[in-house]
């Protein structure tokens, strides 16, 4: 564990869209900060599931605030490991809204996204990989 959340995401190679979004939203310094944070990180494939043009629209400077809201909805204050996530029913996100957490039969859902990989440790928190982008209300 030698990288922060941003550097870990960059090194993984499967979060290029997420990294581009974090940069466009001006959240790089935040996610390189001391934290700790728990990030439910959508893969590039997860972003590809969004309707055509959605990502391109969100990356435009005039949509920075909306993009920040979406990205901070994927982050929870504190380092919450998988063994603790499964005990939760909800998790309050950095943007103030709550995610719904459901664990059953060995799988975990965060809203409508499936958790596909857990406990990627970083110097300032932990990443859990999800298969869909979750959108705040």
Instruction: Determine which helix (DSSP H) or strand (DSSP E) holds 12, and give its type and residue range.
Output: helix 5-12
Integer Cα distance of 55 and 50 in angstroms: 8
Instruction: Domain count for the chain, please give it.
Output: 1
For residue 41, being part of any structural domain is answered with yes
Task: Report pLDDT for 1.
Answer: 67
User: What would the pLDDT profile of 84-137 be if each residue is shown by its tens digit?
Assistant: 988 899 999 999 999 999 998 888 999 999 999 999 999 999 999 999 999 998
For residue 135, being part of any structural domain is answered with no
For residue 136, being part of any structural domain is answered with no
User: What would the pLDDT profile of 30-89 be if each residue is shown by its tens digit?
Assistant: 999 999 999 999 999 999 999 999 999 999 999 999 999 999 999 999 999 999 988 899
For residue 134, being part of any structural domain is answered with no
- Looking at residue 16, which CATH number applies to its domain? 2.30.180.10
Domain that holds residue 70: 5-128
CA 71 vs CA 18, 38, 58, 92, 95: distances in Å: 9, 12, 11, 13, 8
For residue 117, being part of any structural domain is answered with yes
Task: Report pLDDT for 105.
Answer: 83
For residue 54, being part of any structural domain is answered with yes
């Amino acid at each position: 564990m030698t990288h922060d959340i941003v550097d870990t995401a960059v090194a993984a190679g499967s979060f290029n869209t997420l990294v581009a979004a974090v940069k466009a939203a001006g959240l790089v310094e935040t996610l390189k900060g001391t934290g700790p944070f728990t990030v439910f990180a959508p893969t590039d494939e997860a972003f590809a599931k969004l309707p055509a043009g959605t990502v391109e629209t969100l990356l435009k400077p005039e949509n920075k605030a909306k993009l920040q809201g979406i990205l901070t909805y994927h982050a929870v204050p504190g380092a919450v490991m998988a063994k603790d996530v499964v005990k939760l029913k909800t998790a309050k996100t950095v943007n103030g809204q709550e995610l719904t957490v459901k664990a059953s039969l060995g799988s975990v859902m965060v809203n409508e996204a499936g958790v596909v990989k857990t406990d990627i440790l970083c110097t300032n928190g932990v990443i859990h990989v999800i298969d869909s982008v979750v959108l705040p209300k």
